[in-house]
Structures are given as C-alpha cells and as structure tokens.
Amino acid sequence: MTDTPTPVTRPRSRLSLAWDSDVAHSFRRSPVAMVSAAVTVLLILSAVFAPLIAPHDPFNPATLNLMNGFTPPNAPNMFTGESFLMGTDDQGRDVFSTILYGLRISLFVGFAAVGFAMVLGITLGLIAGYVGGLVETIIMRVADVQLTFPAILVAMLIFGIAKGITPPEYRNDVAIWVLIIAIGLSDWVQFARVVRGATLVEKSKEYVAAARLIGRSPAAIMLRHILPNVLSPVLVIATISLALAIIAEATLSFLGVGAPPTEPSLGTLIRIGQGYLFSGEWWILFFPACTLLALALAVNLLGDWLRDALNPRLR
C-alpha cells in the first residue's frame, strides 16, 4: 500500500455511481418499472390524501348507518336509497373510503415494520459478520431463536405484553405499533443473514484490508465501505419485505391479532371480506384484495427492476 490520500481501491461505491446515471436511464427504458412506480406513487398518494378523496369517514362510527350494510356497488340501497361506488360492507361502510383509509394503515405498518427490520437486521448483520467470534455466535443464535417463533406467536406475545402495560383507552392505538414491532421482529433475521453473509465475503477483500491497515475504525469501515456494497441485496429484500409485511398483517388479522375492526387495515378488510366469498357479496372482498394485489405487485416489480438496475454486471 502507498500513502496516497485515496485509501480504497474503489473510490466510490457501486450504488452511488449507479444512482447518478444508470438507474435513471434504466428506469426510462423499462415500461414495467414506470408503470409499477406510477401505481405505487398513486396508491401512496391516495393513502396520504385519503381524508380529502374519500367520500365518507369510515373510522367515525357515529356517521355509519347499519341499514346501508351490504349495498352492492353503484346501486341504491333498498332501505336508504343511498348509492356507493364500490358498495358497502357489513357495517354499512363505504368500501371505497374504507380501502383508502385501510391503505393508509397498511402502508404505514409496512414501511415502519420494514424500516425497523432493516435497521435492526443491518446493524446486527454487519456486527456479526465483521466482528465475528462470540458476538457473531450470540447474534446468529438469537436469530435462530427469532426464526423459531412464527410471526404469529411474536405478535401474540407482544400483544399480550402491550395489553398488560397499556391503559385500556390506548389499546387500540397500541395495536398498530404492536403489529409493526411483531412484523419487524419476524423479518430482521433475513436482513441480518444476508448482510452477515455479504460482509463475510467483503471482509476478505483487499479494499477492506486496506482500510483497516490505514487505521479506519471498524464502525467507519462497516458503514462507509461494507454497507454500500451489501446494500443492493438489502434493497431488494426490503422491497419484497414491504409487500410481505402488508400481507403478513393480513395473515395476522386472519388469526385474530390484526388491526382493530373499527379502524381496519387493508388486511383486516380482506379478512372480513373472505367471510362473504360464498354469500355473493363479492365486492367486500374483491376491491380490497385487488388494491392489495396492485400494491404488492407494483412494489415487487419495482423491487425486481431495482435489483437488476443496481447490479451493473447485468447490464
């Protein structure tokens, strides 16, 4: 090694290079990516601006009329004469408004859970991979324990504890955070394992050895040198995880530990709707399911494209 001021063999990480030029270029060339991005942005925007777009406020029970229940889409209710674009559910809630509000909750839970899992997973993965030894053993065995507990159980455990320590009037607000932590906790292991694996490989490369030789602190090496190089698999996992987290929330709802029914998420709406699959009230399931499908599909396709785009060797 020489004493030149550029210490590492690669002056800039692959990610930041790609971000400047190639990714944007590749995006413009990929119709799938553009459509997916448009759908994702549209869904996020309609969730954010739900109170402005939605014709009703489904979270305010005082405004509901039970007699509006089970109104088919775009047809007048036989008792009240009211009409709803996507019909109403069992409580007489406008399905369209409920989807917009539910989307809000689902996206919030999804982003927050993945963010939580990502931060936790990357940190522990980097440390495990870089430091090695006893620390690695402990982290990876904790990961084993974590994997052993299905998300459902983790959710129930956290639910139980949260219920024990929160005053009753806050319990419904706490439910969302419990979901976020439960889903995040069941997801971080993936990040940790991938990051650890990649770190093990990167650690043995020359540029890390070089950085270490010139006396960079381990934290700096992990963050500045190794992290950017393991980010592309992390980003890909994160996009898939986002879709997955939203679906996991639906699954938990099926097992009775999801968002409260008075403020339903998309997943809770699907859980409610599946009860009406045989009875002919298809719209209660169909529209929320389509929304979830569109969201998950768009995010996944975006993830696919991102993975290819971030990997310069594939171009």
Partner 1 sequence: MLSYIFRRILQSVLVLLVVGLVAFAMFRFVGDPVETMLGQERTVEDIERLRENLGLNDPFFVQYWNFLVRAVQGDLGISYRQGRPVAEIIAERLPATLELAAVSGLFALVFGIVFGVFTAIRRDGWAANAIMTLSLIGVSLPTFLIGILLIYVFAVELSWLPSFGRGEVVQLGGWSTGFLTQSGLIALILPSITLGLYQMTLIMRLVRSEMLEVLRQDYIRFARARGLSQKAINFRHALKNTLVPVITVTGLQLGSIIAFAIITETVFQWPGVGLLFINAIQFVDIPVMAAYLMLISVMFVGINLIVDLLYVAIDPRLRS
Partner 2 sequence: MTRLFAAATLAAGLAFPAAAETFRWSSTTDPSTMDPHAVSSTPVLGFLTNVYEGLVRRGRDMTIEPALATRWEPLPDGAGWRFYLREGVTFHDGAAFTAEDVRFSYERAASEASDVRSWFAPVSDLVVVDDYTVDILTSTPQPIFPDSIANWMMMDSGWAEANGAVAVARDAENFATLNANGTGAFRLVSRQPDLETVLEPFAGWWGEVEHTVTRAVFTPIQNPATAVAALLSGEIDMINPVPVQDAERIDAADGTTVLRGIETRVIMLGFAHDHAELQGGGDNPFSDVRVRRAVAHAVNVPAILQTIMRGSAEPASQLVPPSARGFSPALDSRPAYDPEAARALLAEAGYPDGFAFSLSCTNDRYINDEQVCQAVTGMLAQVGMTATLEAMPVSNYWPELRADNFDMYLLGWSPGTFDAEHPLRFLVHTAGDRLGTWNFGGYTNPRIDELLPMIQSEIDDTARQAMLDEAAATVQDDMVYVPLYVEPLLWGLRDGIEVTQRPDNFFVLRWVNHR
Interface of this chain with partner 2, residues 125 to 144, rule: CB under 8 A: none
Cβ(313)–Cβ(232) below 8 Å: no
Write the interaction track for partner 2 spanning residues 253-292; mark x where CB under 8 A is met and - where it is not: ---x---xxx-----------xxxxxxxx-----------
Closest distance to partner 1 from the beta carbon of 230 (Å): 14
Tell me how far apart the alpha carbons of residues 296 and 267 are, in angstroms, rounded to a whole number: 12
- Judged by CB under 8 A, does residue 213 bind partner 1? no
The span of 22-30, 70-78, 96-104, 248-256 binding partner 1 (CB under 8 A) equals: 248-256
Strand partners, 94: 88
Tell me how far apart the alpha carbons of residues 99 and 111 are, in angstroms, rounded to a whole number: 18
Closest distance to partner 1 from the beta carbon of 297 (Å): 5
- Judged by CB under 8 A, does residue 312 bind partner 2? no
Count of C-beta atoms within a 10 Å radius of residue 285? 20
Tell me the helices (H) and strands (E) count for the chain, helix number first: 14, 0
Contacts by 173-180, CB closer than 8 A, 24 or more apart: 175/259, 175/260, 176/105, 176/108, 176/109, 176/259, 179/109, 179/113, 179/155, 179/249, 179/252, 179/257, 179/258, 179/259, 180/109, 180/112, 180/113, 180/116
The tokens 């592309």 sit on which residue? 232
Q: Which does 311 bind (CB under 5 to 8 A by kind): partner 2, partner 1, none?
A: partner 1
Tell me how far apart the alpha carbons of residues 121 and 240 are, in angstroms, rounded to a whole number: 15
Nearer to partner 1, 157 or 210 (CB): 157
Closest distance to partner 2 from the beta carbon of 80 (Å): 11
Q: Which of 255, 260, 261, 276 binds partner 1 (CB under 8 A)?
A: 255
- Judged by CB under 8 A, does residue 64 bind partner 2? yes
Report DSSP state, residue 5.
S
Closest distance to partner 1 from the beta carbon of 149 (Å): 7
Interface of this chain with partner 1, residues 120 to 139, rule: CB under 8 A: 137
Alpha carbon 269 to its chain centroid, in Å, reads: 18
Nearer to partner 1, 10 or 163 (CB): 163
Give contact residues for partner 1 (rule: CB under 8 A). Answer: 137, 141, 144-145, 147-153, 156-157, 159-161, 163-164, 193, 197, 200-201, 204, 243-244, 247, 250-251, 254-255, 267, 270-271, 274, 277-278, 289, 292-293, 295-297, 300-301, 304, 307, 311, 313-314
